[in-house]
Amino acid sequence: MAGDDGTAARHERTCVGFAVDEAYALPMAVAGRSLIDHHAGAEPLEIVVLDLGITAPTRARVLASWPPGTRVRFVPLPRENLDGLPLSDHEFVLHLNRNVYGRWFLPELLPAAYRRLIYLDADILVLRDLSPLWRIDLGGQPFAVAQDKGIPYVSSDLGVPDYRELGLPARTKYFNAGVMVIDLDRWRTARIRERALHYARSHPDMRFADQEALNAVSGGAWAELPPEWNCPVDEELLGPRHDAAPRIIHFLGPDKPWLTDVAWAPYCQAAYTTYLRRTAWAKELPALPVPRRRGGHQ
C-alpha cells in the first residue's frame, strides 16, 4: 500500500548531525571522515551540520575532507539563540563557550522527512560502522545515550545538583551527551529543547551547561546505549592492555588531540592522526588556533 510504503520510507531516513563553529570545523572534518570511512550500511549516509559560524573557505575545506558524493547539508543557527545561557567556571568546563548549546536546536532545523538523528560531538572518532544505530530500539524514549563514565549518577560530582528538588532518586543514571540517537518526533513532542532552555535560564549557576540541563529535564527517561558507543579516551581504553572494543571514542574534557600543547600518549595521537591525514587539514598542523579558555564547545 502506498501509505505503508511512505511510512517505511520515512523510517529509513536517518541522518548524522554535528553542531560546530569555526574552531571545531577541523575536528568535525576528522570525526566525519572516520564516520564515512566505516560506513557499511545500505542506507546512504546523510550528514547535517548545524553551522554556528563557519566561514565559507572552512566550509569548503570540510567538504574537501570527505569523499565526493557524501550528502552534506549546512544549516545555520543565528548566535542570538544562545545569548544569556549560563557557563560555569568549574575547571573541567572552562574550555566551553556558549556554542555547546547549539545541538539543542538541531532536531527542529532538520527537514521533516528525517525520522532519526544520530548526533555526534566533533571530538570523537568513529571506529566501526554506525549502521546498527539506525534501528536500535529506543524503547519509546526520545533518545538513546550512554551513561557517563566519569559522572555516573545525577548525585555525582558535576551531576545535577538540584536532583532532590527535581524529585530524582540519587542513583538516577547520568548520561554523556556527546553521542545521542534521537527519535525526532518524540524529541519534539517531549519539548526537550524548550524544557532544557527553561532549565538553563532558571539555573544560572549550572555547572555542566547543556549536558546538565538535558540530564535534569529527562530525569533518567532515556534508552541506554552500550558503553562501546561512547568510550572516553583514557589509558585503560587505548593503552597496550586494553580489552575494550570501542565503536566510538570520545576525547572528553579540555585536552583535545588537535591542540598541540597537549601531550597525548603516542597510541592515542596515532588513532587521531590516521583520520586527520585523510582530511584537507592533513598538511598543516596546527591548522586552527583554539584558545584554551572558552575556545571550544564540546
Pairing status of strand 116-120 against strand 223-224: unpaired
Pairing status of strand 175-183 against strand 143-147: antiparallel
Minimum separation from the CB atom of position 162 to Mn ion (A): 23
Hey, which residues between 163 and 192 contact Mn ion (CB under 5 A)?
Answer: 178
Q: Which is nearer to Mn ion, 17 or 168 (CB)?
A: 17
Contacts of 270 by beta carbon, 8 Å cutoff, 6+ apart: none
Minimum separation from the CB atom of position 113 to Mn ion (A): 28
Q: Which is nearer to Mn ion, 172 or 298 (CB)?
A: 298
Pairing status of strand 175-183 against strand 116-120: antiparallel
Q: Which is nearer to Mn ion, 168 or 276 (CB)?
A: 276
Minimum separation from the CB atom of position 13 to Mn ion (A): 26
Number of residues that bind Mn ion (CB under 5 A): 4
Distance CA 103, CA 178 (A): 10
- Choosing from 46, 123, 148, 210, the residue that interacts with Mn ion (CB under 5 A) is 123
Distance CA 121, CA 135 (A): 20
Residue 121 lies near Mn ion (rule: CB under 5 A): yes
Minimum separation from the CB atom of position 253 to Mn ion (A): 8
Residue 298 lies near Mn ion (rule: CB under 5 A): yes
Helix, strand or coil for residue 61?
helix
Residue 148 lies near Mn ion (rule: CB under 5 A): no
Neighbour-count burial for 92-131, b at 16+ CB within 10 Å, e otherwise? bbebbbbbbbbbbbbbeebeeebbbbbbbbbbbbbbeebb
Minimum separation from the CB atom of position 258 to Mn ion (A): 13
- What residues line the site for Mn ion (CB under 5 A)? 121, 123, 178, 298
